[in-house]
């Protein structure tokens, strides 16, 4: 093992305590097991690109990554393939060589400078015999490993390149920015140039989403401040002109963001405006519903009634009666 080792006495107490706290959130650790951790954990440091475990060799330790990143790397038909990438606060070992019974099918390599804590498998085996809490914790760790591995394998085998990329950035946020692109591309079974292309396309789509969000806020603010919906002659073209955008752009935002046609979009504001007025006893007392509709921008009684029932689910008269009944209760 080409590493710099320290005795357990030299391991920083806080580092082991951090591991204990992490595991205790999964299942409470007995004081006896905690003391075994303090007595049997060693510290290891690797430089970037240094090999922790050689492919085809026996892995004798379970590792905890305190700082940095490790990757699993296997060789197939003369090609090196990244099988996993793990970073801080994750446990790493050779699953194929678990307990030292078989050789590891993959090498474990430092992607960055790495600080590790490690416990020998012989110690783990001894502790398994006398500590239920360690058995439970180890089972949870292995279950999570296989769950992640199964999900990763599924997306790599079934998903297209874009789906694999989106899966990775969702489940491993920040990894792509810090890790070598070639490693991530190999893990996702994507050519590096393809990964770069997908990354740029995704960044562009996010930029478009940000632009759409900004335009949405601009539309909302403009309509609320100027109450343009109250103009009976308001049209897609006139509103687009007021916003200094093209009618096609405005129509696209309404269709894709609001899921509404222009008429329904404007009528939503008009109906909400009327509903707010109808909630005021003074407004209902001094104005007819039709007068309120005209004040809100509706050009005719029939257009108002049709829009109101479509958006509210009842006629304006029924809605007014409901409001009146609620006041009397």
> Mean pLDDT across the stretch 153-175?
83
* Domain-located, residue 192: no
> Mean pLDDT across the stretch 119-130?
94
Q: Are residues 100 and 213 in the same domain?
A: no
Q: Are residues 124 and 240 in the same domain?
A: no
Q: Which pLDDT tens digit goes with each residue over 253-303? A: 888 778 888 999 999 999 998 888 887 766 555 667 778 888 889 988 888
Q: Are residues 218 and 144 in the same domain?
A: no
pLDDT of 156 > 80? The answer is no
Domain extent at residue 292: 264-327
pLDDT at residue 182, rounded to an integer: 93
pLDDT at residue 239, rounded to an integer: 92
pTM: 0.62
CATH of the domain at 298: 1.10.10.60
Q: Which pLDDT tens digit goes with each residue over 200-235? A: 998 888 777 778 788 888 998 999 899 999 998 899
Q: Are residues 89 and 122 in the same domain?
A: yes
Number of domains, the chain: 3
Q: Which pLDDT tens digit goes with each residue over 1-32? A: 444 444 444 557 889 999 999 999 999 999 99
Count of CB atoms situated within 10 Å of the CB of 219: 22
Q: Are residues 149 and 134 in the same domain?
A: yes
> Mean pLDDT across the stretch 40-48?
94
pLDDT of 158 > 80? The answer is no
pLDDT at residue 8, rounded to an integer: 42
Confidence band of 101 (pLDDT split at 50, 70, 90): low
> Mean pLDDT across the stretch 302-318?
89
């Amino acid at each position: 093992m080409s590493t710099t080792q320290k005795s357990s006495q030299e391991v920083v107490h806080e580092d082991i305590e951090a591991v204990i706290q992490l595991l205790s959130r999964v299942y409470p650790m007995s004081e006896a097991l905690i003391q075994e951790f303090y007595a049997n954990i060693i510290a290891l440091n690797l430089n970037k690109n240094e090999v922790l475990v050689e492919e085809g060799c026996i892995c004798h330790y379970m590792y905890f990554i305190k700082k940095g990143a490790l990757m699993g790397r296997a060789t197939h038909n003369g090609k090196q393939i990244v099988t996993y990438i793990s970073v801080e606060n994750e446990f790493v070992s050779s699953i194929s060589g678990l307990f030292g019974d078989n050789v590891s099918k993959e090498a474990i390599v430092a992607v960055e400078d790495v600080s590790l804590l490690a416990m020998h498998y012989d110690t783990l085996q001894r502790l398994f015999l006398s500590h239920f809490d360690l058995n439970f914790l180890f089972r949870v760790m292995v279950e999570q490993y296989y769950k992640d591995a199964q999900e990763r394998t599924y997306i790599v085998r079934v998903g297209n390149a874009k789906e694999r990329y989106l899966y990775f950035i969702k489940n491993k946020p920040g990894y792509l920015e810090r890790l070598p692109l070639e490693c991530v591309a190999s893990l996702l079974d994507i050519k590096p140039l393809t990964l770069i292309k997908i990354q740029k396309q995704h960044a562009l789509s996010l930029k478009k989403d940000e632009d759409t969000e900004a335009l949405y806020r601009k539309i909302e603010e403009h309509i609320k401040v100027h109450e343009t919906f109250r103009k009976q002659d308001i049209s897609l073209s006139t509103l687009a002109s007021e916003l200094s955008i093209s009618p096609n752009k405005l129509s696209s935002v309404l269709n894709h963001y609001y899921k509404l046609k222009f008429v329904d979009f404007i009528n939503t504001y008009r109906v909400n405006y009327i509903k707010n007025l109808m909630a005021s006893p003074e407004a209902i007392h001094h104005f007819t519903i039709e007068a309120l509709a005209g004040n809100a921008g509706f050009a005719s009684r029939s257009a108002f009634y049709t829009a109101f029932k479509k958006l509210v689910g009842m006629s304006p008269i029924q809605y007014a009666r409901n409001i009146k009944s609620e006041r009397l209760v």
